[in-house]
Chains A and B, each alone.
Chain A
Amino acid sequence: MKSRSMRFVQGAAVASTLAASIFTFVGGSAVANAASKKYTVAYVVGAASDPFFLSMRVGATAEANKLGISLVWQGNPSVYSAATQIPIVQNLLATKPNALVLAPTDTKALQPLVAQYVAKKIPVFNVDSGDANQANITSWVTGNNVQGGQAAADALASAMGYAKNCSASNKCVVAIGVSSITTSTDAARLKGFAQELKAKYPNIKALNPIVSNSQPTVASSGFKQALAANKVSGIFAIDGTDLEGASQAIVASGAAGKNIKVVGYDAYATTIASMKAGKISAIISQQPALEGKDIIDAVYAKLTGKGGIKHLNTLANIVLTPANCAKLCSTYVYKTA
């Protein structure tokens, strides 16, 4: 019979071999690439598995490969929060990358770390979301979320036939689904949407936002409540998961759902399929792959001293509709691989 200590040693050996092989499996490809490239750039996103960031990775990686940059792509797999992002950014500082590209999950929380990078002469770039104080940031590429919210309001009002169907005595009711009210992008879209309603569409009444925590089933359940409780004629879904939930909710409500118009963010393959099937009136598409490409170009210009870097590069949102889908959808769908 084996002694206790012997078992412990065997157990430890098995565990460490297992751990080592996992690290080799996960990290192997990144390490192999790094050796042959001239520059190493740390790239930290919000939630790495979000199709938006996956699509950004496609654009950034292609450009980096072209320019001889090795990307160290990091981010919590699914949690979009400063608490999970800060340790990642902190650890990467020790690896001394040539530059840091950061999609900050909070407008303020990451600033002290950014200052540490800058103190070590590592330039920092923002992509998608940005730090509130841009003094330490070389360049920031982002979509315009307020404008996107406004575009969504316009698209929704037009789909609902605002002039004909909504009046002061018979207000049209709109349900709104968000993933989180505290995320800067969601807040900005909501703000743009509300501003546009106030300015142009006073006869639309917006319900309190339904919070889905990025779960399509939760969004769908919430929208069904809103549809059962009110005579809803439109839905604004703030991102792809809420849009998936919205299109399912109107399918499930059968005949009552037929006249409800849905407009929302994010050109996932699934949401485009829903639009083609007539469940969605318009999709507000960001340009994540272009954001990734543009920020890598800015990094390269900085590292090679070429200059000509715009501090703020705001990319327009694209409004996809059934009318222009044949022409545009294949270009703007978020490609995740």
Chain B
Amino acid sequence: MVTSPLRRVLGLFANQQFILLLVLVAVMVYFDVHNGRFFSVAEFQNLVVDLSAAALVAVAELFVIVSGGIDLSVGSTIAVSGVIGAQAIVHLQSHHFGELPSLLVGTIVCTGVGGVVGALNAVLITKANLVPFVATLVTLSAGAGLALFFSQGAQIGYDPVAATWSSTGFWIFTWQALIVLVIVGVLGLVLHFTSYGRYNYAIGSNPFAARAAGINVNRHVASVYVMSGMLAGLTGMFFYIRIGGGAPQTGIGTELEAIAAVVIGGASLVGGVGLISGTILGVAILTVVTDGLVFINVSTYWNQVVVAGFIAVAAILQTVSPGTRKR
């Protein structure tokens, strides 16, 4: 018979979260062996900046996926909200608004535009009864087009002061990263410790049973898409600060990265399964791999291949390890 401490250690290895953490550390050590500058404050600041933007979108996607849906529109929402937010900021700054107030208004505009896209998704899904894949494919396409229309293809705004903010903060945390940390923390509590979160799992597991149990499924699903849109809109503002402007190509393809992170993190695309800690680890692995391959001067074309490998391994782990099936 296996002794209990050993069993506990073996149990840890059956835990997908722990495996993800090991993988993350291993990948980082690998990069540092290739180039000893990897474990440095400067590089970690870069990683945290990239990670924080990706985490916002991935956590939004996690809520949607756990509820049994999918949101393909987040990439376009980032683009269209960033462009419209940038136009608002340019307008205010040309009327002698200060940097900070105009950025605050820009943040509200971006989040609002994202919320509108999310509401549109919600209407298409709950009122027009489109499946989420199709509904959000519609807004993905329309959003990309509108971002180009509103920007006429060029970056809106030139705001180097805002751009410097993306690299200032506290130790390895930029201000943006600290804000994301708070948002993700709150959303984690909501998902795992409130009735709203429990409804999310219930609807994702079995919407009919959830309805029978008295949950207003349509209202809940609508709120999840609106939140996803708002978080994508906020990410649009983050990208504005990073490049000091709103560019229509920004965020294109982010939806697939977010879905990949959620899958690597152990969530099921069928719904009802997924942890916020897994998603954050998934985002961290993807970010570290993507950035690290550039860091050690590997051709970026290998990036997609390596990421594909991680998704495949994570998905296989999910099917073979019974311990990870429960949420």
Residues of A within 8 A of B (CB): 48-51, 54, 77-78, 181, 207-211, 213-217, 220-222, 224-226, 228-230, 241, 244-245, 248, 251-254, 256, 268-270, 273-274, 277, 279, 336-337
Contacts and interface: CB of A to CB of B under 8 A. Distances in A.
**Interface residues of B: mostly helix, strand, loop or mixed?**
loop
Interface in B113-158: 144-145, 148, 151-155, 158
Nearest to B50: A221
A244 B250 CA distance: 12
Interface string B237-254: 001001111011111110
Contacts of B153: 48-51, 54, 77-78, 336
B85 to A, nearest CB: 14
Given A54-B153, A77-B148, A214 B249 contact: yes
B42 interface: yes
B298 interface: yes
Interface stretch (B104-112, B159-167, B224-232, B268-276): B159-167
A228 B40 contact: yes
Contacts of B296: 229
B42 A228 contact: yes
Nearest to A214: B249
B293 to A, nearest CB: 9
B295 interface: yes
A269 B248 CA distance: 15
B291 interface: yes
Interface size class of chain B, counting residues whose CB lies under 8 Å from the partner chain: 35 or more
Given A211-B301, A222-B294, A241-B249, A337 B152 contact: yes
A225 B299 CA distance: 13
A229 B295 contact: yes
B243 A216 contact: yes
Interface of B: 35, 37-38, 40, 42-43, 46, 49-50, 144-145, 148, 151-155, 158, 160, 163-164, 166-167, 239, 242-245, 247-253, 291-292, 294-301
Contacts, number: 131
B247 A252 contact: no
A2 to B, nearest CB: 17
A224 B49 CA distance: 11
Contacts of B50: 221
Given A228-B37, A228-B42, A252-B164, A78 B249 contact: yes
Nearest to B291: A225
B239 to A, nearest CB: 5
B46 A225 contact: yes
A256 B148 contact: no
B3 to A, nearest CB: 45
B224 to A, nearest CB: 26
Contacts of B148: 49, 77-78
Nearest to B40: A228
The 7 closest A-B pairs by CB, nearest first: A49-B153, A252-B167, A225-B294, A228-B43, A211-B300, A229-B295, A49-B148
B89 to A, nearest CB: 14
A193 B176 CA distance: 37
A248 B43 contact: no
A268 B242 contact: no
A327 to B, nearest CB: 22
A244 B157 CA distance: 12
B247 A208 contact: no
A248 B152 contact: no
Given A228-B40, A251-B163, 12 more contacts: A49-B153, A54-B154, A208-B300, A210-B300, A216-B245, A216-B250, A229-B35, A229-B297, A241-B249, A244-B243, A248-B163, A253-B167
Contacts of A77: 144-145, 148, 153
B255 to A, nearest CB: 14
Contacts of A207: 297
Contacts of B301: 181, 211
